[in-house]
Amino acid sequence: MSIKLHKFHGGLHTEDHKKGSLISGLQQATLPAQLILPLKQHIGDSNKPLVSVGDRVLRGQLIADSSSAISAPVHASSSGIVSEIGARPVPHPSGQSDLCIVIDVDGKDESIKQKTSPIENLSGAELIDKIQRAGIVGLGGAVFPTAAKLARGNDLGIKTLIINGAECEPYITCDDTLMQNYAAEVVSGIAYLQCILKPENTLIGIEDNKPAAIKSIQLAIEKSPLSQTEVVSIPTIYPSGGEKQLIKILTGKEVPASKLAFDIGLFCQNVGTCVAITRALEHDQALISRIVTLSGNGIQNPGNWEVWLGTPVSHLIELAGGYKINQAKSQHLVMGGPMMGFSLSSDAVPIVKASNNILVMQQQTIPLTPGYHDECVRCAKCVEVCPAQLLPQQLYWQARAKNHERSEEYHLFDCIECGCCAAVCPSQIPLVQYYRAEKSEIRTARQAHFKSDRARLRFEFREQRLLLKKQQDEERRRLKREALQKKNPKIPDRKVEVDPVQAALERVKARKQTQAAEPRNTTNLTPEQQQQIEEADARRRAAREQPK
Amino acid sequence: MIVAILTISLMAGLFGLILGYAAIRFKVEGNPIVDQIDALLPQTQCGQCTYPGCRPYAEAIANGEAPINQCPPGGQATIVALAGLLDVEVLEPNQEHGEHHDIPLVAIIDEATCIGCTLCIQACPVDAILGSAKHMHTVIADECTGCELCLPPCPVDCIDMVPIKQSIDDWKWPLPTLSEEIVHEH
Ligand code: SF4
Ligand code: SF4
Ligand code: SF4
Ligand code: SF4
């Protein structure tokens, strides 16, 4: 059986720079002295720490969790003492710090008691629950909680399961290494996904620059009972590993704008996630390690390491023989690839679930960004390469003008930030940076709008509540008066319509008028009375002036 | 503990229903242009525009009685949006009405000092303060609009305005630096 391949729009043929990190195969990283585990390593809601400073934790122990459905718990990667829970620099484009649990590793690597339970009789929902508890997220880089994605896919019904082993970005070879070393686990992970989603067929897309990986997965499938599962070698073109692009290549289907793969009965999952699923289900092992590529021209020995999550990047750099030039500011660190990655503020940040690659470039080999760019010449080169079939130059104008409405009309949120447009732009406009900024602006505006809608509702509700209360009070008073009148008809019928404020104002006015008039008892006085008054006044004055 | 959680969730559900019901039951048949203007105002309900709430200000704008630059919480963004909607010139914010805070503020009650007088509850336009007589009060930070109306009535001055807590997820990608000035025009 062989399937017909399709082409997606645009894309780039890039130099792949992958050989360097593939030579030495998969290496096991050593334990660092300290593990730094950010509480949030996924897309979704935040976790809360479940341990305190001073606690001893064991490998695989749950240390942070959330009750939200869109979240993934964090586990200790090795045994040791929690020495700090606080803000530490994390891998994030902002370069900011975030809440982390720091473990001083004791080197014993003691594990929690595994209570491996048989999984043969578990239902789909129970399997998904186990995957959730293992803290598994999409390891292709999106870090969306896998269990939430599976639950949604299950609800919508899946026809084709697509396994992403494309790994199209230059320099990165962690999935290639994973497929060569853990093919059997990839394949059993696929079997579990099939068990949960019950797709009609499964396609595994791998770029044809990874023949060894293709071979080992094929062998593993032959040895397994899987049926309707096929490895497809796809042409090497960036970004074939983008979800929508891979779908187009393998099925010819276009995921409509602002829709997701599930909406047309497809489900994509990365090969690394499959391995994590196998380990979670078969060995009750939480996601505490991953394969990371260390690459670039600034590192002594590029390669792939199986790394404990929370390991500082600096520890990994040491394992790779250190920097080529060991001076401050002589390297540029990027997490991810050169097209879609982001710069790291320092090598003190830890490896997290999203870290597929650490790219170390010698500063001197990076062309200096000129600090300006030329204006768009409307050459439309960007339109030709955009794999999402957008109009990048239009998006650029709208982002610069901060015209959110027009940006969305041009489908800004379908931009996958692949960087193809910026790579070919003759004016060297940092297009993706404009799109990212505009996306952030729009997200913030949406949040503000959501909040103001709530405030309006609450404000209007309060107004209505106050009005209702006023009416009820009046009604109660009226009833009371009526009851009194029935008992004692002499009580006069007070006008209900009189506005109490108006009445009060009138009373005040009336009082002022009477006060303005002369007090009556001081008119027509006899001389004696006048004298008495004056004497009394004098006494009072004297009493007041007497020193206390 | 369970009882507390249940009670609170039950209450939350109930209030949700009431709010939803109120939205339908008390729906005001309004003037669409006023609605559109009101939708662009931040709903802080602070009255800094000199009108008793956002909707009255929206009405004043619709009637041509007020310029579009009197809302400090909305800032420049709201002025631009209003100018776009009404097809009028973009104005500078009128500083006389107050200062715009880039990071919105929320009220926080110093719970040790609070004497439980309930005066702030009565002042809050969005019912964002929780408490009862002679008991400590607290602000529901998610619902507080930062209008500052609860500050003056407090007899012991225990309410403070603090910037909303920013998390790493609130961070915004910046536009490329200085692009406006250094773009080479052809
Ligand atoms: S490639 Fe660059 S210069 Fe050409 S149209 Fe696109 S944005 Fe403009
Ligand atoms: S970054 Fe966005 S606009 Fe540019 S080519 Fe990629 S998908 Fe298209
Ligand atoms: S100043 Fe702005 S936020 Fe405050 S009441 Fe007026 S319109 Fe609403
Ligand atoms: S708590 Fe205070 S600042 Fe916040 S909305 Fe209520 S009155 Fe305004």
The whole-angstrom separation of Cα B137 and Cα B114 is 7
Q: Which residue's CA lies nearest to atom 4 of ligand 2? A: A421
Shared-domain flag, residues B59 and B111:
no
| More confident call, A258 vs A164 | A164
Shared-domain flag, residues B115 and B138:
yes
Shared-domain flag, residues B109 and B64:
no
Note the pLDDT of residue B182. Answer: 46
Query: What is the pTM for the complete model shown?
Result: 0.80
For residue B90, the CA-to-ligand 3 centroid distance in Å is 18
Note the pLDDT of residue A498. Answer: 62
Show Cβ contacts of residue A498 under 8 Å, excluding neighbours closer than 6 positions. none
Residue B179 lies in a domain: no
Banded model confidence at residue B168, pLDDT cuts 50, 70, 90: confident
Instruction: Tell me if B168 and A454 make a contact (CB, 8 A cut-off).
Output: no
The whole-angstrom separation of Cα A347 and Cα A364 is 18
Closest-CA residue of A relative to B104 is A448
What is the number of domains present in chain B? Answer: 2
Q: Is the pLDDT of residue A69 over 90?
A: no
Candidate from A390, A410, A431 with most ligand 2 atoms within 8 A of CB, to mutate? A390
Domain boundary among B97, B120, B137: B97
Shared-domain flag, residues B79 and B54:
yes
Tens digit of each residue's pLDDT (9 = 90 or more) over A17-31: 999 899 999 999 999
CATH classification of the domain holding B130: 3.30.70.20
Domain boundary among B52, B78, B97: B97
Sign, Cα dihedral of A538, A541, A545, A548: positive
Note the pLDDT of residue B186. Answer: 38
Banded model confidence at residue A487, pLDDT cuts 50, 70, 90: confident
Q: Is the pLDDT of residue A121 over 90?
A: no
Distances (CA, A) of A56 to A60, A81, A233, A435: 12, 4, 47, 45
Angle at A368 between CA A399 and CA A171, to 5 degrees: 85
Q: Looking at residues B110-139, what average pLDDT do you find?
A: 90
Tens digit of each residue's pLDDT (9 = 90 or more) over A80-105: 999 999 999 999 999 999 999 999 99
Instruction: Tell me if A96 and B125 make a contact (CB, 8 A cut-off).
Output: no
What stretch of H or E contains A353?
Answer: none
Q: Looking at residues A308-326, what average pLDDT do you find?
A: 93
Residues in A 444-503 with any Cβ partner in B closer than 8 A: 444-445, 448, 451-462, 464
The whole-angstrom separation of Cα A307 and Cα A354 is 12
A422 shares contact with chain B (CB less than 8 Å): no
CATH classification of the domain holding B91: 1.10.15.40
Residue B3 lies in a domain: no
Q: Which domain holds residue B132?
A: 101-166
* Four-point Cα dihedral A316, A318, A322, A328, nearest 10: 90
Note the pLDDT of residue A521. Answer: 62
Note the pLDDT of residue A467. Answer: 93
Shared-domain flag, residues B110 and B151:
yes
Banded model confidence at residue A547, pLDDT cuts 50, 70, 90: low
What is the distance between the terminal CA atoms of chain A, rounded to a whole angstrom?
A: 114
* Four-point Cα dihedral A498, A499, A503, A504, nearest 10: 150
For residue A188, the CA-to-ligand 4 centroid distance in Å is 56
Note the pLDDT of residue B184. Answer: 45
Q: Looking at residues B119-147, what average pLDDT do you find?
A: 90
Note the pLDDT of residue A529. Answer: 80
Domain annotation for chain A: domains and CATH numbers: 19-32+122-335 (3.40.50.11540), 376-492 (1.10.1060)
Residue B88 lies in a domain: yes
Tens digit of each residue's pLDDT (9 = 90 or more) over B21-71: 766 666 655 678 899 999 999 999 999 999 989 999 999 999 999 999 999
Note the pLDDT of residue A212. Answer: 95
Give how far the C-alpha of residue A191 lies from the chain's centroid of Cα atoms, to the nearest Å.
29
The whole-angstrom separation of Cα B45 and Cα A389 is 44
Q: Is the pLDDT of residue A114 over 50?
A: yes
Banded model confidence at residue A476, pLDDT cuts 50, 70, 90: very high
Show Cβ contacts of residue A2 under 8 Å, excluding neighbours closer than 6 positions. none
Lookup: tokens for A513? 């008028």
- Of A300, A250, A306, residue with least CA distance to A279: A306
The whole-angstrom separation of Cα A447 and Cα A424 is 34
Instruction: Tell me if A375 and B184 make a contact (CB, 8 A cut-off).
Output: yes
Q: Is the pLDDT of residue A351 over 50?
A: yes
Tens digit of each residue's pLDDT (9 = 90 or more) over A408-460: 999 999 999 999 999 999 998 999 999 999 999 999 889 888 999 999 999 99
Query: Closest ligand 3 atom, CA of B54?
Result: 8
Q: How many CA atoms lie within 13 A of B94 on its CB side?
A: 11
Q: Is the pLDDT of residue A491 over 70?
A: no
Shared-domain flag, residues B105 and B131:
yes
Q: Looking at residues B134-158, what average pLDDT do you find?
A: 91
Instruction: Tell me if A458 and B170 make a contact (CB, 8 A cut-off).
Output: no
Give how far the C-alpha of residue B76 lies from the chain's centroid of Cα atoms, to the nearest Å.
16
**Which segments of chain B are extended strands (E)?**
105-109, 129-130, 138-139, 159-163
Residue B184 lies in a domain: no
Banded model confidence at residue A339, pLDDT cuts 50, 70, 90: very high
How many angstroms separate the most distant Cα atoms in chain B?
A: 70
Note the pLDDT of residue A519. Answer: 52
Residue B11 lies in a domain: no
Banded model confidence at residue A119, pLDDT cuts 50, 70, 90: confident
Taking the CA of residue B185 and the nearest CA in chain A, the distance in Å comes to 6
Shared-domain flag, residues B106 and B91:
no
Shared-domain flag, residues B128 and B107:
yes
The whole-angstrom separation of Cα A303 and Cα A40 is 27
Residue B134 lies in a domain: yes
Instruction: Please report, as a single letter, which amino acid is at residue A427.
Output: S
Tens digit of each residue's pLDDT (9 = 90 or more) over A235-294: 999 999 999 999 999 999 999 988 899 899 999 999 999 999 999 999 899 999 999 999
Shared-domain flag, residues B131 and B117:
yes
Q: Looking at residues A206-222, what average pLDDT do you find?
A: 95
Closest-CA residue of A relative to B167 is A98
Across A95-104, A499-508, A526-535, which has the greatest mean pLDDT?
A: A95-104
- Strand A289-295 relative to strand A201-207: parallel, antiparallel, unpaired? unpaired
Shared-domain flag, residues B80 and B123:
no
Q: What percent of chain A has pLDDT over 90?
A: 72
Residue B153 lies in a domain: yes
A429 lines ligand 2 (CB under 6 A): no
Shortest CB distance from A373 goes to which of B127, B175, B183?
B183
Q: Looking at residues B12-24, what average pLDDT do you find?
A: 71
Instruction: Tell me if B127 and A461 make a contact (CB, 8 A cut-off).
Output: yes
Average pLDDT, chain B: 85
Whether the CB-CB separation of A431 and A441 falls below 8 Å is answered with no
How many angstroms separate the most distant Cα atoms in chain A?
A: 132
Q: Annotate A367-418 with DSSP letters as a single string.
A: PPP-S--BPP----HHHHH-TT---HHHHHHHHHTT-HHHHHHTTGGG----
Q: Which residue's CA lies nearest to atom 2 of ligand 4? A: B150
Which ranges of A488-524 would DSSP assign to H, the alpha helix? Answer: 500-516
- Of B106, B168, B101, residue with least CA distance to B142: B106
Instruction: Tell me if A459 and B182 make a contact (CB, 8 A cut-off).
Output: no
Shared-domain flag, residues B85 and B118:
no
Beta bridge partners of A105: A80
Residues in A 130-169 with any Cβ partner in B closer than 8 A: none
Q: Give backbone dihedrals phi and psi of B117, rounded to 5 degrees, phi first.
A: -85, -10
A316 lines ligand 1 (CB under 6 A): no
Shared-domain flag, residues B123 and B158:
yes
Q: Looking at residues A120-139, what average pLDDT do you find?
A: 92
Banded model confidence at residue B16, pLDDT cuts 50, 70, 90: confident
Average pLDDT, chain A: 90
SS3 content of chain B, % helix, strand, coil (to 5): 35, 10, 55
What is the distance between the terminal CA atoms of chain B, rounded to a whole angstrom?
A: 69
The whole-angstrom separation of Cα A100 and Cα A88 is 6
Sign, Cα dihedral of A164, A167, A172, A177: positive
ipTM of the complex: 0.78
For residue A391, the CA-to-ligand 2 centroid distance in Å is 8
The whole-angstrom separation of Cα B37 and Cα A370 is 43
Test the A interface: residue of B25, B57, B126, B166 with most A CBs within 10 Å = B126
Q: Looking at residues B13-19, what average pLDDT do you find?
A: 73
Domain boundary among B65, B82, B97: B97
Residue B183 lies in a domain: no
B8 shares contact with chain A (CB less than 8 Å): no
Rg (CA), chain A: 36
Tens digit of each residue's pLDDT (9 = 90 or more) over B64-83: 999 999 999 998 889 988 99
C-beta neighbour count of A508 within 10 angstroms:
10
